[in-house]
């Protein structure tokens, strides 16, 4: 449903925003596009949604070339940017009707579609209030609803949960999952790697305009090549004591908020045994001590730091 082959984008002849970017996203799946700020994620989205022309290479969306058939691409997609694209003086309902009319719907059809989306997004209580009175989470929900006024084959979500509270973020997660189940292909950029891990069928990591890794979340975690040993005491006040006795081990970190101390475990059980020996001498009571796989956050940091080096 989405295919990029050797896509590059250069600005002013000197700024290489994208270089030889190639990946594909099957129909009805969710792909997480990850990267640091400035890595090229939004440029990729803008090319796929026909807002930018690639300098070279080819991009296909829903069977259409983004350069040769931009109108057909635009008719097949929905997109939301990092800022809500709404008329702040209109109500939520009026915004949805407006987007429907702009997409060629008759007035009655647009009104009926707005009603459906307002119910789907649980916005009935605020549908007839002006958008400038909405919370950030409500604005985001109406913004995503506007992208779905004409049901798209492909939906681009560029950091859709930035600034949302945890409940609103989970509402967006539920929405993305439901869209995928309905056969909509979703390309998602996000700074929240927990989000990508939970939602994505596949992940593409981009760094300095190049694809440096791709695969499932589990594939990327395995590429780290080692796990972690994590210690959780019963008493959070014991975290500094535990950290002190393992501080010389590679990757030692204390997370007071999570009540854990972790170290890299390149030697697996041998590392676990060494950590246990040191902690046992303290005589502190533990909730847990265990080996675990790296998180997607840790895999991402490992992959991008490897490129930097």
**Per-residue pLDDT tens digits for 104-156:** 899 999 999 999 999 888 889 999 999 999 988 888 888 888 988 988 999 99
- Vertex 125, ends 120 and 128: CA angle to 5°? 95
Ramachandran angles phi, psi of 232, nearest 5°: -125, 115
Which fold would CATH assign to domain 2-221? Rossmann fold (3.40.50)
Whether the pTM exceeds 0.85: the reply is: no
Pairing type for strands 30-34 and 185-189 reads parallel
How confident is the model at residue 295, as a pLDDT?
82
How confident is the model at residue 309, as a pLDDT?
43
Give 183's DSSP letter: T
What sign does the dihedral 171-174-176-179 (CA atoms) show?
Answer: negative
Given its phi and psi angles, is residue 17 left (phi above 0), alpha (psi -120 to 50 degrees) or beta?
alpha
Q: For the purposes of burial, counting CB atoms within 10 Å of the CB of 283, is it exposed (0-12), middle (13-18) or buried (19 or more)? A: exposed
The two tokens of residue 25 are: 């996203």
CATH class of the domain whose range is 226-293: alpha beta
* pLDDT < 50 stretches in the chain: 308-309
CB atoms within 10 A of CB 268: 12
How confident is the model at residue 306, as a pLDDT?
59
Q: Report domain extents, the chain.
A: 2-221, 226-293
Quickly list DSSP for 217-264. Answer: HHHHHHHT--EEEEEEESSGGGHHHHHHHHTTSTT-EEETTTTEEEEE
């Amino acid at each position: 449903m989405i295919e990029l082959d050797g896509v590059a984008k250069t600005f002013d002849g000197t700024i290489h925003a994208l270089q030889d970017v190639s990946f594909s996203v099957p129909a009805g799946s969710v792909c997480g596009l990850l990267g640091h700020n400035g890595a090229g994620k939004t440029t990729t989205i803008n090319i796929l949604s026909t807002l930018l022309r690639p300098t070279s290479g080819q991009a296909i969306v829903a069977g259409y070339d983004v350069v040769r058939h931009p109108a057909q691409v635009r008719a097949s997609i929905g997109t939301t940017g990092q800022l809500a694209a709404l008329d702040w003086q209109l109500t939520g309902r009026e915004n949805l009707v407006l987007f429907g009319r702009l997409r060629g719907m008759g007035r009655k059809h647009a009104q009926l579609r707005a009603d459906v989306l307002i119910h789907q997004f649980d916005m009935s209580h605020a549908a007839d209030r002006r958008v400038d009175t909405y919370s950030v989470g409500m604005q985001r929900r109406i913004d995503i609803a506007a992208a779905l006024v004409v049901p798209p084959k492909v939906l681009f979500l560029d950091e859709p949960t930035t600034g949302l509270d945890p409940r609103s973020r989970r509402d967006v997660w539920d929405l993305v999952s439901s869209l995928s189940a309905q056969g909509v292909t979703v390309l998602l950029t996000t700074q929240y790697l927990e989000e990508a891990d939970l939602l994505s069928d596949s992940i593409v990591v981009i760094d300095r305009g190049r694809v440096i890794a791709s695969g499932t979340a589990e594939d990327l975690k395995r590429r780290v090549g080692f796990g972690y040993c994590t210690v959780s005491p019963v008493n959070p006040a014991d975290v500094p004591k535990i950290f002190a006795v393992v501080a010389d081990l590679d990757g030692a970190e204390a997370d007071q908020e999570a009540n854990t101390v972790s170290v890299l475990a390149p030697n697996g059980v041998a590392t676990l045994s060494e950590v246990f020996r040191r902690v046992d001498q303290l005589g502190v009571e533990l909730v847990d001590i265990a080996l675990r796989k790296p998180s997607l956050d840790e895999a991402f940091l490992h992959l991008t730091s490897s490129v930097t080096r």
